[in-house]
Chains A and B, each alone.
Chain A
Amino acid sequence: MPLLTTACPRNCYSTCALTVQVEDGRIRRIDTHPQTRATPGGPCLKGLSYVERVYSSDRLLHPLRRTRGGGFERVSWDSALDAIAGTLAAVRREPGPQSVLYYCASGTKGLMNRVSERFWRLYGGYTGTYGDLCWPSGLEATRLTLGDNKHNAPWDLANARLVVLWGKNAAETNIHQQAFIDQALDAGGTLIVIDPRRTQSAERASLLIQPRPGTDGAVALAVAHLLIEHGGVDRAFVARHVLGFDAFAASVADFTPERAAGISDVPVSAIHRLAEAFAAVRPATISAGFGLQHFANSGQTMRAILALLAITGNVGRPGAGWVYANLQSHVFDDVRDPVASFPPAVPDGVARVAVSMARLGPDMLALADPPLRVAWVERGNPIPQNPQTPTVVAAFRALDFRVVVDQFLTDTAREADLVLPAKTMFEQSDVIGAYWHAYLQLKQKVIDPPGEVKAESEIYRLLARRLGMPEAGNGTVFPVSEAEVDAYLERALAPFPGVTLARLRAGPVAAPGAQNVAFEDLVFPTPSGRIELESREAATRWGVAAVPDYVEPLESVRRADPDPAAYPLYLLTPNTKNRIHSQFGNLRMIRQFDDRPRVAIHPDDARARGIRDGARVRVFNARGAIVIEARLDNGLKAGCVAVTNGWWLTDGAAVNVLSAARETDMGYGAAFHENRVQVEAVSTE
């Protein structure tokens, strides 16, 4: 059986290069592609589970229409598309095309996704979203500090002698990074993990620093204070490549370990040890996760952590640096993230980019002139995944007409008037980048779509025809056949002579110009050309201090509102190895590991509430409540509870029922973890 090259397009660091074995038209086996250096081990369990996902009996194979009773019935493509086209034509006349919300999320990466936006522009306009749920405040902090979001090749981590996983649980969310951490440890390196949870990744660390959620910036500033006080600064590097060191040094002069300990609950001795590590061990890499930048103060937090690498000269060298997001493969974008997701300074009159991803529900409800009437959702499941789920549900229910394109009947699809069956990654070719390694990859079509499934580009083409768009017959605008898709991708690749579809069919190809050691030329595309600890743009664009500082999180227990007595616990909603956000959790292969949502709670917090292991508990705050099983966890910092995100409402507990629709301090991110709750036993009456 031939091995076909493809790549996993999920919103995941690893973005694995894969080979697929097809037997009698069915996917039989999935394995790692031999030519990748980033993920040389096998794919993760989710990657393997595509063998079930593609053929799952729950997969949607036909269009569905909501019935009066609230269920769904099968309809033909013709009647589904006629209904959609009719509605779109009507609302385009009155109240106007911008009454249509075109919502897409991170469900599938690829260049073919651009067809969608093209359609909505040809339609006459739409309302779009800005910001991102995932990573923008960290991206923006990095852009302001280093000028660009790029980092060393994944395998370079093996050269690090100090690895700090700051709020990252690589073992679960980036399992292939774990192999390079192991190599660094085998070579005598040291691992320090900073996380309120004792995660799988923390298990091999020398030190697990467990700060109060949202106070990581205070720890970083105190470490900077110690490094500056005790000669841990690489003066030569700072003098040549860092802007604003003096202002930064002045601002942390009174940020003593004692002060940070008072803020963060981290003992003074641990802050000293972290500083000693940065002073003594080189090269040092900080791999920062996304969780710690889901706070209202998190852009400044990320800038404070970045400063530690800048002042110790841990940038632009093998084994050193800031591993956050490596956008070197994003060669097709004129403007890279995070700026690409900012609302345009001057609207173009066609797209109304007016809905913040972080405030999807409230913003949708608030729009006027024209108000929203229709929503089209693809590559996303916003109801359980966007903050403050009840507001998202209300906003969708306030519309006249909703279309959701998905592979399964998700929580969002269940709110739709029409559900259109979506292709899987194996059913249409595409070219994808990544954000950890710098490979360009072909996500190759290896099987035909099952049932009546159509790729989005075909759905749009059929709608274009019904709406009388002259481009409806144009395969370069709406590529549908394999030849049209290949031609579309070849055109996108044309500016890069080294990258052709033929080469991508053989395996992953490094993006043109990608550095294995980022910033090895010590060229920083910031306004000053240097690493900016002091950023004028930070102050003018975001209204934060020009140097990184510490601001108490909005839902800190040290603030009066919400009442700390009523909601004393921090709810963390981390990712799990078992899902990518809300994907994969419906498969039997995955559910055997984790079949129901549970809230992890510290045994002493549980005892104080009369909660036994396995008991049903109610987790609630003023925004909502979920009833869920308690799971006692000795490794969690007391005062924190955790529920993995990505469970559906139909599983019984979507975590964003509790989170707030609130933006981060910079980058238009979502401050999911500003989320205080109370937990109580549910009486079994």
Chain B
Amino acid sequence: MNCSFVFDANRCTGCGACQVACTIENGLAPDVSWRRVETFNPRRHPLAPLFHLSLACNHCADAACMRACPALAYAREPVTLAVLIDADKCIGCGYCAWACPYDAPVFDEKTGVMSKCTWCADRLRAGLKPACASHCPTGALDYADVPRAARVLHIDGLPQTRLGPSLHVVPLKPGRLQPEMTAGEVVDPIVGTPPPARTPTAISLRTEWPLAAFTLVAATLVALVAGAAAGTFALDWRLFAAASAAGMALASAHLGRRTRAWRAVLNLRRSWLSREVAALSVFFGLATWWLALAPESRALGWAVTAVGFVGLVAADQLYSVLPGGAGYRHSAGVTWIGLVLAALAARVNGLAALVLLLQSGLYAHRKQIERRPGQGWVSAVRAGAGLVAPLVLLFMGPPAEGAVVALVVAGAVVDRCEFYTELERESPRRQMDLALARRVAPGAAAGPRFASGAPFPTSP
């Protein structure tokens, strides 16, 4: 069997019964569901049809959630092939929700762990369809055997992936696009849904500040070890151990289940989150041990620093599941921050200047090409104080090291905060907003718009 959800956009009216059927079947709180209906063109822009997408977990062949989960909480049920999450293993880190482009995993406030669609595995085993599919009033949602090769996944709003989702969609038929309307033109139409109608698991600095702080602390600690290895200064191992512990505490602050934090390293084979946690933990341990017992061995110091950088690279890689890509594509990549600080700490000013130049390029690219304007004063602080000023100071020499480091750190903090504000998860809502904007943009290619242009078919 190659069963999948089948969704027919021609039949869905966006009624929401599937969402409620899920709630009831799974005994969830009345306003919680593992399925969600999203609406394309909710404000009825005259240049686009209005339709809906009802989505839950697609139980992908190559499940992004399962790959991302650091705690090995996900598993595939052998009989139904449903991707299931074990509530007893989940640490509530939410990384699966970042990785899933379909918005399937939902954070359960009550239990502190993630939950998601089970495909109604019990119903499947009993020969029934999932509750959502069996309750659709119009037959828009079904569960059926559709060969993988025959599946259609192209519809505005559905993220296009290589994950092998168990989903088959029937997009709007050319004859059912949208009505020709007799009301006059809209002079100033409204396009999408403005915030706050966002997905409930959106990423923001407000929710992710412990991560921002932790990554900055980690980069700083790696740089300090590099400085110690270079012999620039001596580092007290007790202070370092305390700072490491504080950093780890910060990192675990955003977990739903902190007591299970140890599980975060279980998926080294596939999860960048496991790799980051493991590499940085090893770095903290090795560095403390080196500082306490063998600070005179420079080679050992550099080796420990290298382990730290492995952790920083892993931390940047972690973001590769998001549409913005891995962290080092951003000027606030924690690898860059670590590198520039390490270079300054080790007094390799040329390298520091080089990284600052690279960061300046990435920053300018983001602002100009990707058009992500932030607030003006933020950019001024970031670019002026954090990049230009230290570069000028470095080139003018003799460098005022203290001032350069202070400026670079300030710039990094600002940029890292901007990084988290700009982070976006992939989601059907995001894809719908993008697709609608494309469709109604001035000069967009005029496709077939109306359900059928005039002459009416004569009766047989």
A residues with a Cβ closer than 8 A to B are 29-31, 39, 41-45, 48-49, 51-52, 161-162, 171-172, 175-176, 178-179, 182, 185, 188, 190-191, 193, 196, 198, 200-210, 265-267, 270, 273, 276-277, 280-283, 577-578, 587-589, 591-593, 602-604, 607, 613-614, 632-635, 637-638
Contact = CB atoms under 8 A, between A and B. Distances in A.
B161 interface: no
B459 A206 contact: no
B304 to A, nearest CB: 52
Question: Most chain-B CB neighbours within 10 Å: which of A172, A206, A283?
Answer: A206
B184 interface: yes
Given A48-B17, A207-B179, A634 B458 contact: no
22 contacts: A30-B24, A31-B135, A42-B17, A43-B135, A45-B15, A48-B17, A49-B30, A172-B15, A178-B11, A179-B11, A185-B175, A190-B456, A196-B183, A207-B179, A209-B182, A210-B182, A577-B13, A588-B30, A603-B188, A603-B190, A633-B43, A638-B184
Nearest to B178: A203
B451 A48 contact: no
A577 B183 contact: no
A52 B30 contact: yes
A210 B181 CA distance: 7
Given A45-B15, A577-B16, A588-B30, 5 more contacts: A45-B17, A203-B50, A210-B183, A280-B457, A635-B44
A638 B187 CA distance: 11
A518 B186 CA distance: 43
Contacts of B458: 280-281
A607 B137 contact: no
Interface in B1-56: 10-11, 13-17, 19-21, 23-25, 29-31, 33, 43-46, 49-51
Contacts of A607: 187-188
Nearest to A283: B459
Interface of B: 10-11, 13-17, 19-21, 23-25, 29-31, 33, 43-46, 49-51, 134-139, 175-176, 178-184, 186-190, 194, 450-452, 454-460
A191 B43 CA distance: 22
B450 A206 contact: yes
A592 B30 CA distance: 9
A634 B451 contact: no
Given A45-B15, A190-B457, A634-B46, A206 B190 contact: no
Contacts of B457: 161, 188, 190, 280-281
Given A43-B17, A270-B182, A204 B10 contact: yes
Given A202-B179, A208-B181, A270-B182, A51 B188 contact: no
**Interface residues of B, dominant DSSP:** loop
A171 to B, nearest CB: 4
B13 A200 contact: yes
Contacts of B21: 42, 48
A583 to B, nearest CB: 16
Contact of A182 (B138, B186, B452): B138
Contacts of B452: 190, 206
Contacts of A43: 17, 135, 137
User: Which 4 pairs, one residue from A and one from B, show the smallest C-beta to C-beta distance?
Assistant: A635-B44, A42-B135, A588-B30, A208-B179
Nearest to B176: A204
Contact of A45 (B16, B49, B188, B460): B16
Contacts of A273: 454, 456
Contacts of B10: 182, 204
Contacts of A185: 175-176
A29 B24 contact: yes
Question: Most chain-A CB neighbours within 10 Å: which of B24, B50, B136?
Answer: B24
Contacts of A282: 459
B137 A176 contact: yes
Contact of A41 (B33, B138, B186): B138
B186 to A, nearest CB: 5
A205 B138 CA distance: 17
Given A51-B24, A171-B13, A589-B23, A203 B49 contact: yes
Contacts of A201: 13
A204 B455 CA distance: 17
Contacts, number: 182
B13 A42 contact: no
A201 B186 CA distance: 21
Contacts of B184: 638
A361 B454 CA distance: 49
Contacts of A614: 194
Nearest to B52: A200
A46 B136 CA distance: 13
Nearest to A182: B11
Contact of A42 (B23, B134, B190): B134
B44 A45 contact: no
Question: Most chain-A CB neighbours within 10 Å: which of B15, B49, B186, B460?
Answer: B15
A267 B182 contact: yes
A638 B43 contact: no
Contact of B14 (A176, A200, A633): A200
A593 B23 CA distance: 14
B459 A280 contact: yes
Contacts of A637: 183
Contacts of A42: 17, 21, 134-137
Contact of B451 (A162, A182, A200, A205): A205
A614 B180 CA distance: 28
Contact of B137 (A41, A49, A280, A589): A41
Given A182-B10, A182-B138, A206-B179, A613 B190 contact: yes
Contacts of B16: 45, 577-578, 593
A613 B43 CA distance: 11
B179 A205 contact: yes
B53 to A, nearest CB: 14
Contacts of B459: 161, 280-283
Contacts of A283: 459
B46 A591 contact: no
Nearest to B49: A203
B186 A203 contact: no
Contacts of B15: 44-45, 171-172, 175, 577
A591 B29 CA distance: 13
Nearest to B193: A613
A171 B181 CA distance: 18
A39 B21 CA distance: 16
B442 to A, nearest CB: 16
Nearest to A196: B183
A45 B35 CA distance: 14
A206 B451 contact: yes
Nearest to A179: B138
Contacts of A205: 179, 451
Given A282-B459, A604-B188, A633 B136 contact: no
Question: Most chain-B CB neighbours within 10 Å: which of A39, A193, A207, A210?
Answer: A207
B454 A193 contact: no
Question: Most chain-A CB neighbours within 10 Å: which of B15, B137, B188, B452?
Answer: B137
A308 to B, nearest CB: 15
B429 to A, nearest CB: 15
Question: Most chain-A CB neighbours within 10 Å: which of B29, B134, B183?
Answer: B183
A48 B458 CA distance: 41
Nearest to A204: B176
Nearest to B139: A41
A175 B138 CA distance: 7
B187 A634 contact: no
Contacts of A281: 456-459
Nearest to A264: B182
A262 to B, nearest CB: 14
Contacts of B188: 603-604, 607
A283 to B, nearest CB: 8
A204 B14 CA distance: 13
Nearest to A170: B13
A133 B328 CA distance: 65
A578 B31 CA distance: 14
A592 B28 CA distance: 13
